[in-house]
């Protein structure tokens, strides 16, 4: 089965996607992580994407769809985090999966109040080595500002500054929200309250997956 996690930045898609990928053996495709990695390595793709990622604007659809085609060559079950973000990307995903005789089985929409999101994103810290995500209030590292797993100093993402967060939320409203109707019409949308505690959100998503699998 293939799954999409949809929702505003900071709602917890990345954290949930990582847990789900481990438990259910999904291959995780996070377009944000792929882009940040390319930007860091100064690749051709990274240089093209940098100016968009830095200010929280969406990277053009054709670049994103090329990434998806390259990263979904095998018939593995996939979980997509942060993709699709526009109707054009959703149509591209549909095209790619159909061509391979696959389908998108469920779209998990995590929703959350904007004030909670701004608070969460401004307190988010990430390990630059292993990618583990922390929240200084709800899920702080055990040892100062160091990653629990690799002891690397945690970083704040450049686009997690308040003025950029607001921009990302505006773009989300305008360009990504229309996807709700797109997937609602296909009857694969599951709405889950992302403001609940992480474990509770995880259990709810898990139930959806187990149910989809048994149908």
Is 157 among the residues known to form the active site? yes
Of 120, 125, 132, 157, the active-site residue reads 157
Is 174 among the residues known to form the active site? no
Q: Which residue of 7, 32, 141, 194 would you call a contact of ligand AMP, by CB under 6 A?
A: 32
Q: At closest approach, how far in Å is the CB of 85 from ligand AMP?
A: 4
Of 36, 85, 120, 125, the active-site residue reads 85
For the segment 49-78, give every residue that binds ligand AMP (CB under 6 A): 52-53, 56-59, 64
Q: At closest approach, how far in Å is the CB of 129 from ligand AMP?
A: 17
CA-CA distances (angstroms) from residue 112 to 42, 97, 151, 171?
34, 29, 31, 16
Q: Which residue of 12, 85, 109, 154 would you call a contact of ligand AMP, by CB under 6 A?
A: 85
For residue 165, how many other CB atoms are within 10 A of its CB? 24
Question: If binding means CB under 6 A, how many residues of this protein chain bind ligand AMP?
Answer: 17
Q: At closest approach, how far in Å is the CB of 36 from ligand AMP?
A: 7
Q: For residue 108, state whether it binds ligand AMP (rule: CB under 6 A).
A: no
Q: Of 168 and 190, which CB lies nearer to ligand AMP in the complex structure?
A: 168
Q: At closest approach, how far in Å is the CB of 51 from ligand AMP?
A: 9
Is 57 among the residues known to form the active site? no
Element (H, E) at 40: helix 31-40
Q: Which residue of 20, 21, 35, 110 would you call a contact of ligand AMP, by CB under 6 A?
A: 35
Q: Which string of DSSP letters, residue by residue, matches the chain?
A: --EEEE--TTSSHHHHHHHHHHHHTPEEEEHHHHHHHHHHTT-HHHHHHHHHHHHTPPPPHHHHHHHHHHH--S---EEEES---SHHHHHHHHHHHHHTT----EEEEEE--HHHHHHHHHTEEE-TTT--EEETTTB--SBTTB-TTT-PBPB--GGGSHHHHHHHHHHIIIIITHHHHHHHHTT-EEEEETTS-HHHHHHHHHHHHHHHHH-
The 160-189 site mask, x for binding ligand AMP (CB under 6 A), equals: --------x---------------------
- For residue 194, give the nearest of 2, 1, 17 by alpha carbon: 17
Is 13 among the residues known to form the active site? yes
Q: Of 158 and 207, which CB lies nearer to ligand AMP in the complex structure?
A: 158
Using CB under 6 A as the criterion, which residues of the chain lie in contact with ligand AMP when the complex forms? Answer: 9, 31-32, 35, 52-53, 56-59, 64, 82-83, 85, 89, 159, 168
């Amino acid at each position: 089965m293939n799954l999409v996690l949809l929702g505003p930045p900071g709602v917890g898609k990345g954290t949930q996607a990582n847990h789900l990928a481990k438990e259910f053996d999904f291959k995780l495709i996070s377009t944000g992580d792929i882009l940040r990695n390319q930007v860091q390595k100064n690749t051709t793709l990274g240089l093209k994407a940098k100016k968009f990622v830095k200010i929280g604007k969406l990277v053009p659809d054709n670049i994103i769809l090329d990434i998806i085609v390259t990263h979904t060559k095998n018939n593995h079950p996939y979980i997509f985090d942060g993709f699709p973000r526009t109707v054009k990307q959703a149509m591209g995903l549909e095209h790619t999966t159909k061509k391979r005789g696959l389908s998108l089985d469920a779209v998990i929409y995590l929703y959350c109040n904007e004030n909670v999101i701004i608070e969460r994103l401004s307190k988010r810290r990430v390990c630059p080595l292993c990618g583990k995500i922390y929240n200084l209030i709800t899920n702080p590292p055990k040892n100062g500002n160091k990653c629990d797993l690799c002891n690397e100093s945690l970083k704040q993402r450049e686009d997690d500054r308040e003025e950029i967060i607001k921009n990302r939320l505006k773009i989300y409203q305008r360009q990504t929200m229309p996807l709700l109707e797109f997937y609602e019409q296909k009857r694969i949308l599951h709405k889950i309250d992302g403001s609940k505690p992480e474990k509770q959100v995880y259990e709810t998503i898990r139930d959806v997956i187990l149910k989809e699998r048994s149908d």
